[in-house]
Amino acid sequence: MTIHLEPTVAEQIRQRYLQVDTSNVADVLDELDLPDQGLAPAFAPYPSGAGKLAGWAHPILGEMREYPLGDRDPDKMKACAELTPGSVSVWAGPGEGVCFFGELIAIGMKERGSVGALVDGGVRDVAWIGQLGYPVYARYRTPVQSIGRWKVVDSGVPVTMPGATTATVEVRPGDFILADEDGAIAIPAAAVEHVLKRAEELGGVEVEIRRELGAGLTLANALAKFGHV
């Protein structure tokens, strides 16, 4: 994972991102003329109560490829061993109908300090993963294993993920991944700190709007006072 930040600072940033919403992050990216960082609506938490996902991207690339069941995909294990504290494993590459990992790989990733996964494919053992406190956002779930069908071919390299407003979104090592009830979004590494500060500002305004609406301010007057948020 390529993060040019001192580890304590990187973790402080990650913790602050856990307090902001993807919707505000998306609005800030629009302000920066980065309007196409949202990921496809198909990405959803597994299980549904997995919680917010926030961390530094470490991409893992695979492809559909037949190989002997006994090989057990050692390249997958190698890629997972590269994960560092605060990282989100970003699983990419062609593949349909199979899971890219299940409970045991999730345990191994969490042991490395990884804080969640974003999967352009399937996962299984959903109920057990839910007990790990390891947020996983994926396109689908399936009982069908990857061994013998889908193989890791590279890691720590730029990958493409399905986009919300474009066909694909490039995710590079050290970009930031944020996902919540509204969906998932990728924040380019160079913009991470600016986006965070501005998203926190927008969130603060929203708190004040909700407070005043609760105290009786009409929506029309709130819009006149605060503008569009």
pTM value is 0.90
Look at residue 1 and tell me if it is in a domain: no
Distance CA 103, CA 92 (A): 18
Element (H, E) at 141: strand 136-141
Averaged pLDDT for residues 106-124: 97
CATH of residue 162 = 3.50.30.40
Domain span holding position 121: 7-226
Which structure tokens are listed for 97? 């109908």
Q: What is the mean pLDDT of residues 75-81?
A: 95
Whether 59 is in a domain gets the answer yes
Q: Which tens digit of pLDDT belongs to each residue from 1-58?
A: 455 789 999 999 999 999 999 999 999 999 999 999 999 999 999 999 999 999 999 9
Could you report the per-residue pLDDT of 166-208, keeping only the tens digit for each?
A: 999 999 999 999 999 999 999 999 999 999 999 999 987 666 6
- For residue 111, report the phi and psi dihedrals to the nearest 5 degrees: -60, -30
Work out the mean pLDDT of the chain and round it to a whole number. 92
Share of the chain above pLDDT 90, in %: 83
Is residue 2 domain-resident?
Answer: no
- Dmax over Cα atoms in the chain, in whole Å? 67
Strand, helix or coil at 105? helix
**Total structural domains in the chain?**
1
